[in-house]
């Protein structure tokens, strides 16, 4: 008797509308499609228009379809997470949530007519929603349609555990706190009682507990535990102790990071270079001229400087960093986004000091955006001055590059504490930004006595990351479990 093939599942992926969330979610989409699963990837209309290489990704992965949904904001809204975060999340909850419900009803129907499907290619009914953990209105929408939900947190496990402990921190009167005694340790994060100081907690912990942004994150991390599972972009050997705590809150957790590396290990495609995956998920146009400049530099001599896609600097901060970089004597590649200044337009109004122009001409290279994974993998790069965003931290660990951390928002303060104190793969420079400190820290990172400790430690974690995405590795195995669980739905 001929066996009937079981149809492949169809999942909808919903990222939070920011570069650092879209990139790992789109990598996850490619991994699922490679396993034959149908994926509908839903961006806001604004980000859908700006996402590069949609067509080439759809051609490479025939079961990947892109859809867009209205975010409720006027067309001329800047949609910058900083300082418009509340605008964005309020609009998503009020306008996007009901539109998502309508889309789920349509895709869950056995007769759904998907506009992205080729003629005669009937898309199977939607079987699961995989939502970003900051889009928990999707849990309500999915439950109303009768669909299971798996959540994704694109930040570190250590920061997720801190978010989940917010109620406990309030209950134990460790939140809120004032500006005084920022080095006081906190005990309300089980398992990390002697590690975290007030300054190392999530950036929202510096707000009043009734602040709308604090309340948003607290509500989302209470809601997220209703999901049937949690996907994390990390690996067991990196965050095992924290993962065991998180596992107490969810029936299933899937640590499958580093996602960008897992994709390369799973997809045997010579066209799938680090540049093509990065570009596919980028809302910024990369300037590849920096790669030619790096080719002309000595091995390990360059410090790469990037504050990610969201962090803003004042002009004073930018000049302090610039002086520190030039005075350190190191060669540097600096991603200086056109929108990096918090005081818009200030960049053009002031003349750059002559000594900075001369120092940059001699030893520096500045671009608006760089192919970060390729830059970190380049032999010339010996250090990374970073905002400690989780994608950047994982990419540096994978490449074996020690870090100088200057965290600003969200999970970054927690990540930088782990970099400096737990993993010992770099220096935590949080809450400091003067040229003397920047110069001193760069010299320590690039050639000080501690450098050998950093490089030895980051090399060890880099090897563990590579092992995790190999066929016998934990992340590879956890992805297999996720795929099987989706098929069993």
Joined tokens for residue 402: 């020690």
Instruction: Using the structure block, give the residue that is written with the tokens 């379809």.
Output: 65
Strands 38-44 and 64-69: parallel
DSSP code, position 281: T
Beta strands in 252-363 (DSSP E): 253-255, 302-306, 331-335
User: What is the C-alpha to C-alpha distance for residues 405 and 427, in angstroms, rounded to an integer?
Assistant: 6
Q: Which residues are catalytic?
A: 21, 132
Helix (H, G, I), strand (E, B) or coil at 457: helix
| 3-state secondary structure (DSSP) of residue 197 | strand
Indicate the pairing of strand 426-428 with strand 403-405.
Answer: parallel
Token digits of residue 211 = 């602040």
Instruction: List the beta bridge partners of residue 386.
Output: 306, 405
350 Cβ contact partners less than 8 Å away, ≥ 6 residues apart:
315
Query: Which tokens is 320 given?
Result: 């302090």
Spatial separation of the C-alpha atoms in residues 189 and 198, rounded to whole Å: 11
What is the distance, to the nearest Å, from the Cα of residue 264 to the centroid of all Cα atoms in its chain? Answer: 18
> DSSP class of residue 203?
G
What three-state secondary structure class fits 38? strand
DSSP three-state, residue 380: coil
The DSSP H or E segment spanning 68 is strand 64-69
Token code pair at residue 425: 């793969």
Closest CA to 401 of 380, 421, 418, 432: 380
d(CA 325, CA 319): 10
Q: Is 382 helix (H, G, I), strand (E, B) or coil?
A: strand
> Helix crossing, 354-363 with 315-328: angle to 10°?
50
Q: What are phi and psi of 10, to 5 degrees?
A: -125, 120
Give the whole-angstrom CA distance, residue 477 versus residue 261. 14
Q: What is the DSSP string of 213-266?
A: HHHHHHHHHHHGGGSSEEEESS-HHHHHHHHHHHTTT-S-EEE---HHHHHHHH
């Amino acid at each position: 008797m001929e066996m009937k093939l079981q149809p492949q599942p169809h999942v909808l992926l919903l990222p939070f509308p920011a570069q650092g969330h879209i990139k790992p979610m789109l990598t996850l989409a490619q991994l699922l499609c490679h396993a034959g699963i149908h994926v509908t990837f839903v961006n806001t209309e604004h980000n859908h228009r700006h996402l590069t290489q949609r067509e080439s990704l759809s051609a490479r992965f025939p079961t990947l379809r892109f859809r867009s949904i209205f975010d409720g904001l006027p067309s001329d809204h800047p949609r910058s997470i900083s300082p418009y975060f509340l605008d964005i999340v309020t609009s998503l909850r009020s306008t996007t949530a009901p539109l998502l419900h309508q889309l789920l009803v349509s895709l869950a129907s056995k007769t759904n007519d998907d506009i992205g499907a080729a003629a005669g290619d009937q898309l199977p009914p939607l079987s699961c929603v995989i939502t970003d953990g900051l889009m928990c209105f999707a849990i309500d929408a999915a439950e109303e349609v009768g669909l299971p939900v798996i959540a994704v947190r694109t930040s570190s496990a250590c920061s997720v555990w801190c978010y989940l402990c917010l109620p406990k921190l309030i209950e134990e009167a460790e939140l809120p706190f004032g500006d005084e005694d920022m080095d006081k340790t906190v005990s309300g994060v089980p398992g990390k009682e002697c590690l975290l100081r007030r300054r190392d907690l999530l950036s929202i912990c510096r707000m009043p507990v009734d602040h709308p942004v604090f309340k948003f994150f607290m509500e989302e991390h209470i809601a997220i535990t209703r999901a049937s599972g949690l996907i994390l972009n990390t690996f067991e050997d990196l965050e095992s102790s924290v993962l065991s705590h998180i596992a107490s809150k969810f029936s299933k957790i899937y640590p499958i990071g580093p996602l960008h590396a897992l994709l390369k290990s799973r997809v045997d495609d010579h066209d799938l270079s680090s540049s093509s995956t990065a570009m596919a998920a980028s809302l910024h146009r990369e300037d590849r001229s920096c790669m030619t400049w790096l080719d002309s530099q000595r091995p390990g001599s360059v410090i790469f400087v990037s504050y990610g896609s969201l962090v803003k600097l004042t002009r004073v901060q930018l000049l302090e960093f610039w002086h520190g970089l030039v005075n350190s004597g190191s060669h540097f590649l600096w991603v200086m986004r056109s929108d990096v200044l918090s005081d818009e337009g200030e960049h053009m109004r002031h003349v750059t000091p002559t000594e900075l122009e001369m120092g940059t001409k001699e030893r520096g290279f500045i671009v608006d955006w760089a192919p970060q994974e390729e830059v970190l993998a380049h032999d010339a790069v010996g250090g990374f001055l970073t905002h400690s965003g989780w994608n950047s931290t994982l990419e540096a660990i994978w490449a074996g590059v020690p870090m100088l951390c200057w965290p600003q928002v969200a999970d970054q303060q927690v990540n930088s504490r782990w970099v400096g104190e737990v993993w010992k793969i770099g220096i935590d420079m949080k809450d400091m930004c003067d040229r003397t400190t920047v110069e001193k820290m760069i010299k320590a990172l690039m050639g000080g006595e501690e450098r050998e400790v950093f490089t030895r430690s980051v090399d060890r974690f880099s090897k563990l990351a590579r092992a995790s995405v190999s066929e016998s590795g934990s992340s590879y195995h956890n992805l297999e479990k996720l795929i099987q669980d989706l098929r069993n739905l």
